Amino acid sequence: MQFSEIPGLEELKNQLISAHKRGKVAHAQLFAGRPGTAVLPMALGYASYLMCENKQEADSCGSCPNCVRIKKLVHPDIHLHFPKISANESKYDKVIAEAIPRFREFVIETPFGDLESWTRKYGQENKNLLISREDSRQMLKNVSMRSVEGGYKILLIWVPELMNPSSANAILKILEEPPEKTLYLLVSYNYDNLLATITSRTQLVNVPPNTFEEVKAYLESKEVEPAKAEQVSKLSEGKIGLALHLAEAGESQEYEDFQKWMVECWKKNLVGLVQRSEEFSKSGKAAQKNTLNFAIALVRNAVIHVSGQKPPVQSEAEGTFIGNFSDKLGLEKLEKVYALINESLIHLERNSNPRITHLNLSLDIIRALNG
């Protein structure tokens, strides 16, 4: 991927290029941003620029052998590490052989994709994916090897917050004392969950969301109809990955599920809520978090409506529901529901039991709605 394939963010691109030109490339850099933003594309664009044999003023050339191989994610000096199912030493090679081709396809097809997108592509929605101790051993092996091309050797670690503790501790020393011309590019969506000893050894590269105009222009370049592009760009909060998902999905199924959930809470339908919690627990970890994140976005839209402004909605039906929902609850109850969902999301990120977490949340929302 080249910088030119990433919409906007020119200031950040210039900063990265300037650091190279000044000989100030940090050996360990933490690219951080929200899921669906250009965090991974920016790290890949940077890697492509560093490895390019014919650098242009503001980008890699895109056509030299290194650029071509990086575009396909097959460059021998770029080592990919990412969450996958765990395996002991005897089965690790088989897991890697199956996961690497799928991960390459995932990144090439959906560079703005998030962890949930990867779990669907990987076909492991109901498994806990992680960067394991065996992965850290592979990192140590990669670091000890000489560069094939004689230039930079790059370890790209996607979602390092999913390293288990033993894996995280294992890479501390190589982060602190890297071999010459070895770079670590960590791509994180929640770097607060990383060990402080890791973040302290990396240079933080904040990747902000895109502007509404940038997202809209990008969607139109992908042949999304202009009216649809404008609509979903308003909903995306600068996340191109989310905008693409909304553009492809049409009317939001998530919105309909949220509506039914709130009706069950309002009517105190305990049988329905228990069944909903069971179904929630059977979905993948990433899907569970996505459900709550979407609920938070809808409640936020309701708060916007209460304040007298027009919230971004994806359909007329969704707009009608948001209006009725916000008018019936009012600001105080909406704020309570928002806080409850956000708190449950935090519990999920700390590996709470999803069934119990969702059921407790539903019971708390019943009290909030009927209080």
Quick: pLDDT tens for 231-269. Answer: 788 777 888 988 888 777 654 566 778 888 988 998 899
> Do residue 220 and residue 278 come from a single domain?
no
pLDDT of residue 253: 65
The DSSP result for 318-340, as a single string, is: HHHHHHHHHHHHHHHHHHHHHHH
Count the domains in the chain: 3
Q: Domain range for residue 282? A: 251-370
Q: What is the mean pLDDT of the chain?
A: 86
> Do residue 120 and residue 263 come from a single domain?
no
> Do residue 233 and residue 273 come from a single domain?
no
Is the pLDDT at 160 greater than 60, yes or no? yes
Q: Is the pTM of this model over 0.85?
A: no
Give the pLDDT mean for 121-132. Answer: 79
> Do residue 89 and residue 170 come from a single domain?
yes
The DSSP result for 130-169, as a single string, is: BB-HHHHHHHHHHHHSPPSSSS-EEEEEESGGGB-HHHHH
> Do residue 184 and residue 239 come from a single domain?
no
For residue 32, give Cα distances in angstroms to 135, 211, 301, 321, 336: 21, 17, 26, 35, 30
Instruction: Look at 16 and 303; give whichever has higher pLDDT.
Output: 16
Single residue among 206, 237, 269 that ends a domain in this structure: 206
> Do residue 109 and residue 174 come from a single domain?
yes
Positive/negative CA dihedral, 254, 258, 261, 263:
negative
**330: alpha, beta or left, given left = phi > 0 and alpha = psi -120 to 50?**
left
Instruction: Look at 65 and 301; give whichever has higher pLDDT.
Output: 65
> Do residue 86 and residue 137 come from a single domain?
yes
Single residue among 146, 171, 206 that ends a domain in this structure: 206
Is the pLDDT at 61 greater than 50, yes or no? yes
Instruction: Look at 14 and 226; give whichever has higher pLDDT.
Output: 14
pLDDT of residue 49: 94
> Do residue 47 and residue 162 come from a single domain?
yes
> Do residue 263 and residue 179 come from a single domain?
no
Q: Which helix (H) or strand (E) holds 18?
A: helix 10-21
> Do residue 196 and residue 336 come from a single domain?
no
For residue 54, give Cα distances in angstroms to 57, 64, 147: 10, 7, 19
> Do residue 177 and residue 317 come from a single domain?
no
Residue type, 215: V
> Do residue 31 and residue 99 come from a single domain?
yes
Q: How confident is the model at residue 315 (pLDDT cuts 50, 70, 90)?
A: low
- We report the CATH number of the domain holding residue 183 as 3.40.50.300
Q: Coil, helix or strand for 56? A: coil
Quick: pLDDT tens for 67-108. Answer: 999 999 999 999 999 998 877 777 888 888 889 999 999 999
